[in-house]
Amino acid sequence: MPPTDGDPHHAARLRLHQLDTADARAAFARDVASGLRSSPKQLFPKYFYDELGSELFDAICLLPEYYLTRAENEILAESADEIITSAAGDPTGSGSTTTPLALLELGSGSATKTRRIIEALLKRQGTLLYLPVDISASALDASAHALLQSYPALHIEAYASDYDTALARLAGERRERAERLLVLFLGSNIGNFDHAVAEQFLRALRGVLRAGDALLVGADLKKDRAVLEAAYDDALGVTAAFNLNQLVRLNREFGADFQPRAFRHVAEYNEAAGRVEIYIESRFAQVVALPALDMEITFAEGERIHTENSYKYDAAELDALAERTGFHCLRRWTDAAGRFSSNLFIAR
Ligand code: AVJ
């Protein structure tokens, strides 16, 4: 461990904004009630990430079948310097483009992969302002302290929030900032969005940026069904636990009586739609009570709750996505096995 800097709680270098509080719980309750009343039933992936859910996702990233994290980490370890010089509009790497970059990350989680980018930026400009946004306050708090411990020249302004709330807040603050921005949207987080929503989201993000700002988008690539389905239904059952944990969360937060063992995890590649679909499937006919929402939910045998989509892309789709949303895809890096892509979008 590096020596402490006389500020063990990092108070001077950390500001943590909790943007979602009372409203967030009411919105969660509304989403659950309407999602479980609709047909087919659905729950939203952002609700996977309670404290246990965030830990289970970190475990997923270590699974042999879940190649995405390792592939993206390989790209970032190999090419962080090149990514930074391209993002800074400084292809020779001479540092001649002197305006420092600030780093905004959407869905930062444990921010392990981000270290490669942070190190490259610190090497280039000496200090760095890092603005992580994550729905999980616990993950945000833990990762911020770990990063500040590692990097004495780092300052962090963290937002515990969903993306929309954070973007609305950052839009106001962007105007006052002199730095150029590099935005990270890593790990195939964009894969949770339907195509139309992904476009809307990138346009909203573009609205927060200035021309020349950069966005690094991590996107998983289309590939063999067997590889994709194994990545989302691993042999140890960690992804199943991650998915079914959403029922455990409903038990805790809304007094529901879901029996996780009465359901199974399903992951199917829908090749026509280009996405892996994740479901919670009822093993038999049953009725579940949700007292806090004053609801009873009936399941037929085999009936499913759709909990997540994970879209897979190809290069042409990513280039087109950039053009349609006010960006230009300047460069794309892939891992040696060609499974995953890191795409550098520049705001036009
Ligand atoms: C966090 C959305 C990138 O889709 O690969 C992993 C979530 N779900 N295993 C993904 C997830 C099941 C993950 N993202």
Q: How many domains does the chain have?
A: 1
Name the residue at shortest CA distance from atom 10 of ligand 1. 310
Tell me the backbone φ, ψ of residue 56, rounded to 5 degrees: -65, -35
Task: Tell me which residue range forms the domain holding 300.
Answer: 1-88+97-348
pLDDT digits 0-9 by tens, 22-48: 788 899 999 999 999 999 999 999 999
**DSSP class of 4:** P
The residue to mutate among 58, 108, 310, 341, having the most atoms of ligand 1 within 8 angstroms of its beta carbon, is: 310
Give the Å distances, CA to CA, from 144 to 10, 166, 223, 285: 9, 17, 35, 45
Task: Determine whether the shortest distance from the Cβ of 310 to ligand 1 is under 6 A.
Answer: yes
Quickly state the pLDDT bin for 96 (edges 50, 70, 90).
low
pLDDT (0 to 100) of residue 68: 98
Query: How many of the other CB atoms lie within 10 Å of CB of 86?
Result: 19
Cβ burial 227-238 (10 Å sphere, 16+ → b, else e):
ebebbbbbeeeb
Range 233-261 average pLDDT: 98
C-alpha–C-alpha distance, residues 294 and 32, integer Å: 12
Q: What's the predicted TM-score (pTM) here?
A: 0.94
SS3 89: coil
Name the residue at shortest CA distance from atom 6 of ligand 1. 232
Task: Determine whether the shortest distance from the Cβ of 188 to ligand 1 is under 6 A.
Answer: yes
Task: Determine whether the shortest distance from the Cβ of 68 to ligand 1 is under 6 A.
Answer: yes
Give the mean pLDDT of the chain: 94
Task: Determine whether the shortest distance from the Cβ of 307 to ligand 1 is under 6 A.
Answer: no
Quickly state the pLDDT bin for 10 (edges 50, 70, 90).
confident
Task: Determine whether the shortest distance from the Cβ of 60 to ligand 1 is under 6 A.
Answer: yes
Task: Determine whether the shortest distance from the Cβ of 191 to ligand 1 is under 6 A.
Answer: yes
pLDDT (0 to 100) of residue 99: 84
Task: Determine whether the shortest distance from the Cβ of 232 to ligand 1 is under 6 A.
Answer: yes
Name the residue at shortest CA distance from atom 1 of ligand 1. 189
Query: How many of the other CB atoms lie within 10 Å of CB of 207?
Result: 12
Distance 68 CA to ligand 1 centre (A): 9
- CATH number, domain of 348, equals 3.40.50.150
5-9, 11-15, 141-145, 178-182 — which is least confidently predicted?
5-9
Closest CA to 317 of 189, 208, 220: 220
Closest CA to 237 of 217, 268, 281, 267: 267
Task: Determine whether the shortest distance from the Cβ of 110 to ligand 1 is under 6 A.
Answer: no
pLDDT digits 0-9 by tens, 195-229: 999 999 999 999 999 999 999 999 999 999 999 99
Distance 276 CA to ligand 1 centre (A): 10
